Amino acid sequence: MAKQVTVLVCGAGNGGHAAAGLAASRENIETRVLTLFPGSAERWTNIMKDHYLRITIDEGDTGIRNGQSIDFNVKLPFITNDASKAVPGADVIIFTSPAFAHQNYLEAIEPYIQPNTTIVGMPGQPGFEFQVFDVLKDKANQCVIMSYESLPWACRIAEFGKCVHILMVKVNLMGCIIRGRSMPSYDPMETVQRVMGKAPILTVANNYIEPILATKAIIHPPIMYGKWKNWDGKPLDKKPLFYQGLDEDQARYLGGISDELVATAKAIATQRPEVNLSGVLQLYDWYLRDHKPYIKDSTSLQTVLQTDTAYDGLVHPMKETEDGKFVPDFRYRYLTEDVPYGLAVTKGLAQIAGVPTPYHDEVIAWCQKQLGKEIIVGDELKGKDIGSTRCPQRYGINSLDALVKSITL
């Protein structure tokens, strides 16, 4: 019989609904929800007085291949906006909110965090570990820190507090685990896997640096840059395709940035052989199979994408004008999240390793202009707004020694 544990889900969005629903459906798991979005805790609590949370899961693409759809209901009796009530006694705390909300949740739980707690970023995104250690200080060394770049599923709230649809479950999900000085009485990996169920299968990289250097967050910004850097400002008649509309220029920037990350991995491994980064190339191979961004020839890339229905019809983020035409939306998450919690972090690792990054620099320089930020100056991360990113330099990490010592590998 599995050990009794308490799981706290942070967030009440799509991922929060799915994670809380799955956790509440498992035996020997007490489930709590902490939501800091104004009014959401009271609203959801009131809904739970008269309703259940319904979860529907389509397991057709999980690798189980049974084509099964699952539909079940759960009660969530513990929903609050008060960390002092939610955190004490929690064994596992799962962050399901976007990266921009992590700081608020970390600051809220910090006074009440206990040794041997497992803190899970799901999604964590690059730099999650730096941020956790920065906010929790030495308390983080007494906890287990786990980070996965994305949510385990594609999911959507059908009706707030009442129904969430899990539309697709990933087959595998790569992450990292930092155990520090923690000695939990439960198995953190087994517990988080128990919440997930059969899929996705959670796997662990050699260290926290590997997933950063293989992040999917490097994909969207160079495609946006290649498409819009010479835009004349005139609205378009229709929304352009995103992946299937790639040209040679966009493919070149994608390939250039991925090459810079491979060079960074090699540089770190050469200077600090004890840092095992052997999995980085394998991780890129994995992303190649799943996301197809690292083919430098756009004709070959588009040929591959034509056979992948997951990309059918995916368009650039656009805003509609009053006359029914379209202009690019530069405040969409492709830039607002993937630059400060993606490219800025990978650029930071490259800068520490002494690797030139002309492709990173060019793309970030354009992106920060669209965002009204100053992150990079020339080829260095020293802009006035690096505090809005999770690059290691923001946390005073400017050397390989500091990078390795800052967090136990």
Residue type, 228: W
Residue type, 154: A
Taking alpha carbons only, the member of 205, 170, 155 closest to residue 53 is 155
DSSP 8-state symbol, 230 = T
- Beta-carbon contacts of 306 under 8 Å, excluding residues fewer than 6 positions away, are 244
The answer to whether residue 220 is catalytic is: yes
CA 388 → CA 58, 138, 199, 205, distances in Å?
37, 23, 34, 27
CA gap 265, 280 in Å, rounded = 7
Helices (H), ranges, 272-353: 279-291, 298-306, 333-336, 344-353
CB 189 within 8 A of CB 388: no
- Beta-carbon contacts of 86 under 8 Å, excluding residues fewer than 6 positions away, are 8, 32, 33, 34, 78, 80, 109
CA gap 93, 95 in Å, rounded = 7
Taking alpha carbons only, the member of 341, 357, 338 closest to residue 262 is 357
Q: What is the dihedral of CA 127, 132, 138, 143, to 10 degrees?
A: -110
Q: Is 50 exposed, middle or buried (0-12, 13-18, 19+ CB in 10 A)?
A: exposed
The structure tokens listed for 149 are 């770049």
**Looking at 102, 165, 220, 316, which residue is catalytic?**
220
Helices (H), ranges, 197-330: 209-213, 220-228, 248-271, 279-291, 298-306
Spell out where 197-248 has E strands. Answer: 201-204
Residue type, 289: R
Taking alpha carbons only, the member of 341, 336, 334 closest to residue 390 is 341
Taking alpha carbons only, the member of 117, 303, 280 closest to residue 207 is 280
3-state DSSP call for residue 115? coil
CA gap 194, 152 in Å, rounded = 13
CA gap 308, 330 in Å, rounded = 26
Active-site annotation, residues? 220
